[in-house]
Every structure is written in structure tokens, then in C-alpha cells.
Amino acid sequence: MLILATPYINWSALWKIIVASLVAGAGVVVVFGFLLLGVKIANNAKGGGREWAGYALSGVCGFICLAIVAAGIYAILNKPVSKKPAPKKTAAALIAPSYKSTA
């Protein structure tokens, strides 16, 4: 298929997008689930180590969730294409070449 030829699909960018989406998208759902689980463990425990373990699990998971959100906001603020002048030969330059360079 012509469309699968490299000029149409930037495979390296595509793989990065898939991996990043899996890690951040599906990952955050699981981590958030463990956060809720930690809260439940802590609530059900009657004091002691189990309660602290629950809160620790929630805390770690909460931190990971926040880190993923921060990564998302970083991605919004730091699009490679928006840098001027656009560096040549970056992934961004390959995806969105200016009209001149392809005409």
C-alpha cells in the first residue's frame, strides 16, 4: 500500500505516540485505581501498619498521577514545532514541513 510508505507515515513518531498514550492513558487509569485501593485499605484498617501502608500506596499513586498530568501540560507548553527557527531534521520538521520545502 502506497499509504504505508515512509513519506506518509512518520513511524518513529507514531510509535512514540502509541507508547506515550499507553503509558499515560491506560497507565493513569490503573495507577488511579491503586490510589483508590490504598484509600480503601487505609479506611478498613483499624490503625497500625496496614493503615499507613494504605496511605503510602495512595500517596505514591497520587504522585504518579500528578506527574502524568504535569507531563501532559509540559507537552502542551513545549511543542517542538513552535520553536523558532524550526530546527531541521527533527521529528517535528519531518511531520509538518513548511509548504516551501515540499513544493
Partner 1 sequence: MGSTLILVLVVIAGFSFDFTNGFHDTANAMATSIATGALKPKVAVILSAVLNFAGAFISISVAATIAKGIVSPKVLVGGDGLELVLAALIGAMTWNLITWYFTIPSSSSHALIGGVIGATIVATASGEVNWHNLVQSVIVPAVLSPFICAGVAALGTYMAYRLIRRLGQKEARTGYRYGQICSASLVSLAHGTNDAQKTMGVISLALIAHGDISAVNFSVPFWVKLGCALSIALGTASGGWRIINTMGNRITNVESPQGFSAESSSAAVILASSYYGYPLSTTQVVSGGVLGAGLGKKIDSVHWNVIGQMLAAWVLTMPGAAVLGGVAWAIADIFGAHANVGAIVICVLAAGGAFGLWTLAQRNKITPDDLDRTKVSVVEEAELAGVPAALAEA
Give residues in contact with partner 1 (CB under 8 A). Answer: 3, 7-10, 13-14, 16-18, 20-26, 28-30, 32-37, 39-40, 65, 69, 72-73, 75-82, 84, 91-92, 95-99, 102-103
Q: How far is residue 12's CA from residue 95's CA, in Å, rounded to a whole number? A: 11
Closer to partner 1 at the Cβ: 67 or 75? Answer: 75
Straight-line distance from the first to the last Cα atom of the chain, in angstroms, rounded to the nearest whole number: 23
Closer to partner 1 at the Cβ: 52 or 90? Answer: 90
Residue with cell 531541521: 88
Quote the least distance from Cβ 21 to partner 1, whole Å: 4
Task: State which amino acid sits at residue 89.
Answer: K
Closer to partner 1 at the Cβ: 3 or 49? Answer: 3
Quote the least distance from Cβ 42 to partner 1, whole Å: 12
Quote the least distance from Cβ 97 to partner 1, whole Å: 7
CB atoms within 10 A of CB 35: 20
Directed axis angle between helix 27-44 and helix 48-77, to 10°?
150
